[in-house]
């Protein structure tokens, strides 16, 4: 279809350490659980409300998988650009078809950037090039690690 776009941009924190698996072809894949949150003040009660969404992130780039394994831990704040993909699989116990929607980081239109201070500061572009756009964005990122982790 001409004129279509499948692009996801997220900033959030990891809810668990990355899970690294070996695929049948011998290459590694990283699976991340990313939390994004929004908060607001309830109009009626005046109390602060918060809603957290969980996103499944799958990284196929071998070099990026190694960096994810080495540098990302639970609570790390990251920025990801990827594509939504829904895959179908069969539940072995019930035999029923199941579906999982994931954000896939693969190819030249995807990236993962580590945000925040400490060991997680820096950016990684999935196409193995560090664009000046990412460098400019990183210079504007606050290294404020006092943010509350929403989980």
Q: pLDDT tens-digit profile of 5-27?
A: 999 999 999 999 999 999 999 89
Task: Please check whether residue 16 lies inside any domain of the structure.
Answer: yes
Question: If pLDDT is split at 50, 70 and 90, which confidence band does 117 have?
Answer: low
CATH number of the domain that residue 34 is part of: 2.40.50.140
Task: Please check whether residue 136 lies inside any domain of the structure.
Answer: yes
Q: Determine the 3-state secondary structure of 112 from DSSP.
A: strand
Long-range contacts of 17-23 (CB under 8 A, 24+ apart): 17/72, 17/73, 17/74, 18/68, 18/69, 18/72, 20/65, 20/68, 20/69
Task: Name the E strands within the chain.
Answer: 8-14, 19-22, 28-41, 48-59, 77-90, 97-105, 111-114, 122-125
Name the β-bridge partners of 29: 21
Is pLDDT of 129 > 80?
A: no
User: Number of structural domains, the chain?
Assistant: 1
Q: Give residue 28's domain range.
A: 8-39+48-140
Is pLDDT of 75 > 60?
A: yes
Task: Please check whether residue 145 lies inside any domain of the structure.
Answer: no
Task: Please check whether residue 1 lies inside any domain of the structure.
Answer: no
Is 116 within 8 Å of 143 (Cβ atoms)? yes
The pTM for the full model equals 0.70
C-alpha to C-alpha distance for 50 and 13, rounded to whole angstroms:
15
Tokens of 17: 């350490």
Mean pLDDT to the nearest integer, 103-112: 90
Burial readout 52-73 (b: 16 or more C-beta within 10 A, e: otherwise)? eeebebbbbbeebbebbeeebe
pLDDT in the model for residue 151: 38
pLDDT in the model for residue 116: 78
pLDDT in the model for residue 138: 32
Task: Please check whether residue 55 lies inside any domain of the structure.
Answer: yes
Task: Please check whether residue 148 lies inside any domain of the structure.
Answer: no
Share of the chain above pLDDT 90, in %: 61
Specify the length of the chain in residues. Answer: 151
Task: Please check whether residue 146 lies inside any domain of the structure.
Answer: no
Is pLDDT of 131 > 70?
A: no
Task: Please check whether residue 3 lies inside any domain of the structure.
Answer: no
């Amino acid at each position: 279809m001409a004129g279509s776009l499948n692009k996801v941009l997220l900033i959030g924190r990891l809810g668990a350490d990355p899970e690294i698996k070996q695929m049948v072809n011998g290459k590694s894949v990283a699976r991340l659980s990313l939390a994004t949150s929004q908060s607001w003040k309830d109009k009626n009660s005046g109390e602060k409300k918060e809603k957290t969404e969980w996103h499944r992130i799958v990284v196929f780039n071998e070099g990026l998988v190694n960096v994810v394994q080495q540098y990302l831990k639970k609570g790390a704040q990251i920025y990801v650009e990827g594509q939504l993909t829904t895959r179908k699989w069969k539940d072995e116990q019930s035999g029923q078809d199941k579906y999982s929607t994931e954000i896939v980081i693969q190819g030249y239109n995807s990236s993962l950037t580590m945000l925040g201070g400490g060991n997680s500061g820096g950016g990684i572009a999935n196409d193995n090039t560090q664009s000046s756009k990412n460098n400019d964005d990183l210079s504007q990122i606050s290294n404020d690690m006092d943010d509350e982790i929403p989980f």
